[in-house]
Amino acid sequence: MVKQFLKFRIYLFLFFLVSLGIFLRFHNLPNLYIFGFDEEYQATYAMTLVKDIHPIWIGVSASFLDYYLGPYFTYFTSFWLWISSGDPLITSYVAGITGVATGVAVFFVGWKFFNLTTGIISSLLYMGLPLIVFYDQKYWNPMFVQLIVLAMFASLILIKKSPWWWLLFTGAVGAIFETDLAPLPLVIIGIWLFLKGKYFLNKKLVLSCIVVFLLFYWPLLVFDFNHNWSNLTVLGRYNRQVKASGARFDPMSKTSSVLDTMGRFWYLEPGKSNAQELNIFCNLQRTYPSSWLTGLSVVLLIYFLYISFKSRKKELHLLTSFILVSLLFYILYTGGSFEYYLHGFITLFTFVPAILISQVKGRSRGLFFLFIAVILILGLRTIINSSDRYSLGSKKVLIGKVMGIVKDESFAIDKMGTCHIYDGWRYLFKVYGRTPARSFTDQNFAWLYPEEVDNEPVTYNVIVSEYGVQADRDLTGYERIDEGGFSAYVKKIK
């Protein structure tokens, strides 16, 4: 009877958890969805499959490296865009559902490998904190990083019960090459445990792991075979690519970035645009964390590491290893200090306060629960009041107004400003208006649609920019249209 009552309460909590996750991620999503450069790249590439089904062997490039990810995410994206006739809004719901699934996975990992309190608190933090919710509303290849990290962590614990859980770990590693390379350093932990446990003596297991990995990686091998092994030799070109990109070894800047994210983990200010909060290249209007929230995260992490090193619990040791490896490689990495590179760490960090609170006894425990409740209520306020000023809703309305002037005439798109210049304009004009004859992003993506570029003189010129930007050219004769955080300048030139 007691077990049945416990199961009922767990099912009730799961219902609440999923409902909370869906509500927060889908609230005003048609207007809030962020569609920028990365989303345009992936959608444009995927639409080549919708237009003409053909085999592709690579996906998008990985960061500044001359390395290409596998094609599976592009195939995945093309399926959704085929259903929606190219409308990217459908992908925002796919991203939200992926985030909800990740939150449920956080609950089960916390519950099964630590305790029920850890599962409840960590999953509530994942489902309800604005920083995580906003990232879960973005449809791009890094959106699977959290699930991959959780799968890697869970599989390395479960190998104690059966060595065949290495297949899950291998599948997760293969998925890294199809989505995002951020979790790749965690493979070191798996290799160490594989060698330490002498699992390599099990020939059937080794062969099965190779087969599972190749299920993910084989398209890249086909690509490499036909391109002088370009992907596999990327490390030989690493130093040259670092210099060409301007990237540099800067552990102090990376450490500052980690501390910034650890403060933002708890709280984002209400009323700000989610697009500004997550903008990679221009986010001066984002939330800058208070020092006490950053300090709280640091204290919690240090104390967690302390009790972990003292404990004999292997699950704590493994979680510590995952956290430290994630942080160490981020700090040492010569690429940019981009917050989304910390996706895996952020997900793992949700377990830290949850584990610590689960070990507190007496009245003090109630105070910690109260703190979590207050943080979640503040997070709810931030998410509900998030501005759609720079997101999809404003772009659609602006495009509609521009097309009301351009009508059936030919037009070209240009950009102006410094922040929201690569915001997916060409793709969105094509979906919600008409295909422009030329666009400023043709230099990046025209190889995907060469037959759509028309170099003949156009009737209208359209300039898009963020609202209020200082003009860098003569706008005499242009009609200005404002919507949300954007402006469009339209001029008939013939």
Number of other residues whose CB lies within 10 A of the CB of residue 48: 15
Residue range 419-432: mean pLDDT, rounded: 92
Of 356, 384, 412, which residue is a domain's last?
Answer: 384
Residue 240 banded pLDDT, cuts 50, 70, 90: low
Q: What pLDDT sits at residue 238?
A: 66
Domains: count for the chain: 2
Q: What pLDDT sits at residue 242?
A: 62
Residue 246 banded pLDDT, cuts 50, 70, 90: low
Extract the tokens encoding 140. 């791009």
Q: What pLDDT sits at residue 249?
A: 80
Partners of 480 in beta bridges: 489
Q: Are residues 253 and 280 in the same domain?
A: yes
Q: Are residues 109 and 218 in the same domain?
A: yes
Q: What pLDDT sits at residue 65?
A: 62
Q: Are residues 220 and 255 in the same domain?
A: yes
* 3 state SS of 153: helix
- Mind listing the pLDDT tens digit for each residue in 93-151? 999 999 999 999 999 999 999 999 999 999 999 999 999 999 999 999 999 999 999 99
* 8 A C-beta contact, residue 486 and residue 467: yes
Extract the tokens encoding 461. 């010129």
Q: Are residues 363 and 459 in the same domain?
A: no
Q: What is the residue range of 90's domain?
A: 2-384
| Burial class of 258 by CB neighbour count within 10 A (0 to 12, 13 to 18, 19+) | buried
* 8 A C-beta contact, residue 102 and residue 316: no
* 3 state SS of 478: coil
User: Which phi and psi (to 5°) does residue 485 adopt?
Assistant: -95, 15
What percentage of the chain has pLDDT greater than the value 90? 80
Extract the tokens encoding 260. 């910034």
CA 91/CA 81 separation, integer angstroms = 8
* 8 A C-beta contact, residue 344 and residue 326: yes
Residue range 34-38: mean pLDDT, rounded: 91
DSSP 251-276: HHHHHHHHHHHHHHTT---TTSBHHH
CA 134/CA 117 separation, integer angstroms = 25
Q: Are residues 370 and 479 in the same domain?
A: no
Please give the DSSP secondary-structure letter assigned to residue 418.
S
Residue 90 banded pLDDT, cuts 50, 70, 90: very high
Sign of the four-CA dihedral 208, 176, 35, 30: positive
Q: Are residues 435 and 303 in the same domain?
A: no
pLDDT mean across residues, the chain:
92
Whether 252 shows a pLDDT value over 60: the answer reads: yes
Please give the DSSP secondary-structure letter assigned to residue 488.
E
CA 421/CA 376 separation, integer angstroms = 34
Question: Which residue is associated with the tokens 């009737």?
Answer: 459
Mean pLDDT check: name the lowest of 65-69, 71-75, 358-362, 447-451. Answer: 65-69
Q: What pLDDT sits at residue 237?
A: 67
Write out the H or E segment, with its range, that includes residue 96: helix 89-113
Sign of the four-CA dihedral 384, 390, 393, 397: positive
Indicate the Cα dihedral angle 183, 188, 190, 191, nearest 10°. 140
| Amino acid symbol at 243 | K
Q: What pLDDT sits at residue 155?
A: 98
Q: Are residues 354 and 477 in the same domain?
A: no
* 3 state SS of 115: coil
* 8 A C-beta contact, residue 406 and residue 462: yes
The set of residues, in sequence order, having a beta carbon less than 8 Å from that of 83 and lying 6+ positions away, is 90
* 3 state SS of 326: helix
Q: Are residues 332 and 476 in the same domain?
A: no
Whether 63 shows a pLDDT value over 70: the answer reads: no
Residue range 405-421: mean pLDDT, rounded: 91
Residue range 460-478: mean pLDDT, rounded: 90
CA 446/CA 439 separation, integer angstroms = 9
Which residue spans within 124-209 are E strands per DSSP?
Answer: none
Of 384, 405, 420, which residue is a domain's last?
Answer: 384
Residue 250 banded pLDDT, cuts 50, 70, 90: confident
Residue range 468-486: mean pLDDT, rounded: 90
Buried b (16+ CB within 10 A) or exposed e, 137-174: bbbbbbbbbbbbbbbbbbbbbbbeeeeebbbbbbbbbb
Q: Are residues 239 and 145 in the same domain?
A: yes
Q: Are residues 307 and 449 in the same domain?
A: no
Whether 267 shows a pLDDT value over 90: the answer reads: yes
Question: Which residue is associated with the tokens 């790749």?
Answer: 184
Question: Which residue is associated with the tokens 């209400």?
Answer: 270
Determine the angle formed by the axes of helices 187-196 and 166-176, rounding to 10 degrees.
150
Whether 64 shows a pLDDT value over 60: the answer reads: no
- Mind listing the pLDDT tens digit for each residue in 380-403? 999 999 999 999 999 999 999 999
Q: What pLDDT sits at residue 244?
A: 60
Q: Which of 364, 341, 413 lies closest to 181 in space, CA to CA? A: 341
* 8 A C-beta contact, residue 356 and residue 303: yes
Give the neighbor-by-neighbor strand order of the sheet with 438-439: 438-439, 411-415, 460-466, 486-492, 479-483
* 8 A C-beta contact, residue 457 and residue 494: yes
Q: Are residues 315 and 451 in the same domain?
A: no
Of 354, 384, 414, which residue is a domain's last?
Answer: 384
* 313 Rama class: left (phi>0) / alpha (psi -120 to 50) / beta: beta
Q: Are residues 355 and 321 in the same domain?
A: yes
Whether 354 shows a pLDDT value over 60: the answer reads: yes
Residue range 336-363: mean pLDDT, rounded: 92
